[in-house]
Copies of this chain bind each other. A is one copy, B any other.
Amino acid sequence: MTITGKQLIGGEWTQGEAGSFHGANPQNGQKLQPAISTASSRQVEAAVRMAEAASKKFRHTSPSIRAAFLRNCAEQIMALGDELLERLSAETGYPRGRAEMERGRTCGQLRMFADYIETGAHLDARIDTALPERQPFPRPDLRHLNQPIGPVVVFGASNFPLAFSVAGGDTASALAAGCPVIVKGHPSHPGTSELVAQAIAKAVTQADLPRGVFSYLIDEGHTVGALLVKAPAVRAVGFTGSFAGGTALMALANERPDPIPVFAEMGSSNPIFLLPQALQQNGANIAQGFVGSFTLGSGQFCVKPGLLIAVDGEPLQAFIATAKKLVEEIPAPVMLNDRICQTFQRSMSSRSSDAGLEVVAQGKPLHDVDGYFAQVTLFTTSAQTILEHPELMEETFGPASVIIKCRDREEMLKVARRLPGQLTATVQCITDELAEYGELLDQLAETAGRVVVNGFPTGVEVCHSMVHGGPFPATSDRRFTSVGTNAILRFLRPVCYQNYPEALLPPALRNNNPLGIPRLINGVRTSEALK
């Protein structure tokens, strides 16, 4: 494949009409070729118009057609081969291993949704049969089915150029639901994004789907994204990124004449509560895990542990000493792009000069090069300081974390109660001591979408049980997850068919159950036909 810098508008690759920009290699700051053209408002409208038209047909495709299409998307991505992996590394600074792993995750997600929609579980098919003799009124025949919500806009994320980007979880779940997708590519990895868009476009053609089922647009700023969120035919938005970005999209969506849901995953600080006995007995190991987790991928994960909370004393001092030694050995990691790198550096400067935070360890200093490198930094502070300045609990995107020293268990609990909404919260403990911390666990299950015992938050498993979500500001809506099979629920809406002639019902609701899916018939779950 060749990277052309073009936009994909309903199957056609065309030059963007609103200027151009270049990607950059974060290792050396050098421009990457070719120039990436930028979509105009006319082009945005064209993509939306085609998505709207495609929606009318795509919504009627059977789950098995869409499943085959999703599996072929995965195959086409694999077929991009080394070119994809190399471009990804050049655009993000991620090593080859990470690129391969993320590709595996992305293709695995596409296949997982393919398998899932074939079970029909997402449809929530329900039938309540007519009761013509019922008094005082007969009951009509009523049938319930989840239907695709309509065209979805997906914003690519900077930190997962494959798994949360062009063909990432939002796209996969929206397509699986039967919704056309328009991707707004992230300017930090435009070549990677275009290659993946080429793969999806191929799969659309091979499946003979309406061409508007998938479009890919990009610009360097916020113009294209804002136009997409405001477009009348767009029905939902998926976003993974910063708090500022997510809340801006939420505001735009709420200002529409018809507000639409924005599912924004905006990251969090992912606190680790380190309980006394675990600290005492296993501090050194946990320190190693903690440092590994907060510096993994240059600390550029939404689930990076940015806070560690423990009771102060000799064991915590030993823990900090171990962590310090580990941190000091870490070479300055490369960041995704110039803006993220600078934001991190600014945050480190302001935090270092902050009266309440103390730098206890720094990684190896920056290379003397033009790349976007950062220095790993570990802070300590007191619970009292954090409680007085809760803004210090906010996420820092990059390889930094804060150890919060508490006087006692009660102060630990106070910190837990003051935490803003989180994607994850972790407890490191000896199992026996957990009984005393029931209140802490309860609080964390209210604060976070996922509670981890004796693990680290990094590593978001793609499976049925995953919740990658959580209360605001971690996400815009705590009722949903953006990872795992239930991510599809964001892009479905229920429709009730009353007294429909059999032949006009969607296949999933016909008496003979041609899809062979489980249905709730008069309150009883069965995969049998309705007699």
Interface residues in A, total, Cβ within 8 A: 76
- A459 x B56 contact (CB < 8 A): no
| Closest residue on chain B to residue A497 by CB atoms | B451
User: Using Cβ atoms and an 8 Å threshold, which residues of chain B touch A455?
Assistant: 140, 498-499
Check A259 for interface membership: any CB of B closer than 8 A. yes
Which one, A79-87, A381-389, A395-403, A465-473, is touching chain B? A465-473
**Complex formed: what's the CA distance from A464 to B261 in Å?**
25
User: Using Cβ atoms and an 8 Å threshold, which residues of chain B touch A139?
Assistant: 461, 463
- A518 x B525 contact (CB < 8 A): yes
Question: Assuming the A-B contacts A259-B476, A261-B477, A261-B479, are A144 and B494 also in contact, with contact meaning beta carbons closer than 8 angstroms in the complex?
Answer: no
Question: Assuming the A-B contacts A140-B461, A421-B258, A499-B455, are A494 and B472 also in contact, with contact meaning beta carbons closer than 8 angstroms in the complex?
Answer: no
A262 to chain B, nearest CB (A): 10
- B127 x A465 contact (CB < 8 A): yes
- B466 x A496 contact (CB < 8 A): yes
**Complex formed: what's the CA distance from A499 to B465 in Å?**
12
- A478 x B149 contact (CB < 8 A): yes
- A144 x B258 contact (CB < 8 A): no
- A495 x B472 contact (CB < 8 A): no
User: Using Cβ atoms and an 8 Å threshold, which residues of chain B touch A478?
Assistant: 149, 493
User: Using Cβ atoms and an 8 Å threshold, which residues of chain B touch A492?
Assistant: 479
- B137 x A464 contact (CB < 8 A): no
A405 to chain B, nearest CB (A): 26
| Closest residue on chain B to residue A260 by CB atoms | B472
| Closest residue on chain B to residue A247 by CB atoms | B259
**Complex formed: what's the CA distance from A205 to B126 in Å?**
36
Check A442 for interface membership: any CB of B closer than 8 A. yes
| Total copies of this chain within the assembly | 2
User: Using Cβ atoms and an 8 Å threshold, which residues of chain B touch A446?
Assistant: 150
Check A454 for interface membership: any CB of B closer than 8 A. yes
**Complex formed: what's the CA distance from A438 to B497 in Å?**
14
- B481 x A450 contact (CB < 8 A): no
| Closest residue on chain B to residue A472 by CB atoms | B258
User: Using Cβ atoms and an 8 Å threshold, which residues of chain B touch A78?
Assistant: none
Question: Assuming the A-B contacts A139-B461, A500-B453, are A258 and B494 also in contact, with contact meaning beta carbons closer than 8 angstroms in the complex?
Answer: no
Check A124 for interface membership: any CB of B closer than 8 A. yes
- B496 x A465 contact (CB < 8 A): yes
User: Using Cβ atoms and an 8 Å threshold, which residues of chain B touch A142?
Assistant: 461, 463, 465-466
**Complex formed: what's the CA distance from A56 to B442 in Å?**
8
Ordered nearest first, which 8 A-B pairs have the shortest CB separation? A467-B496, A144-B465, A142-B465, A450-B496, A258-B472, A452-B498, A126-B465, A128-B465
Which A residues have a C-beta under 8 Å from some C-beta of B?
A: 56, 101, 115, 124, 126-128, 136-137, 139-140, 142-144, 147, 149-150, 250, 254, 258-259, 261, 420-421, 431, 434, 438, 441-442, 445-446, 448-455, 459, 461, 463-467, 469, 471-473, 476-481, 484, 486, 489-490, 492-501, 504, 518, 520, 522-523, 525
11 more A-B residue pairs beyond the given contacts A115-B523, A258-B473, A449-B493, with a C-beta to C-beta distance below 8 A = A56-B442, A140-B455, A144-B466, A147-B445, A149-B478, A431-B501, A434-B501, A450-B497, A452-B498, A453-B497, A464-B523
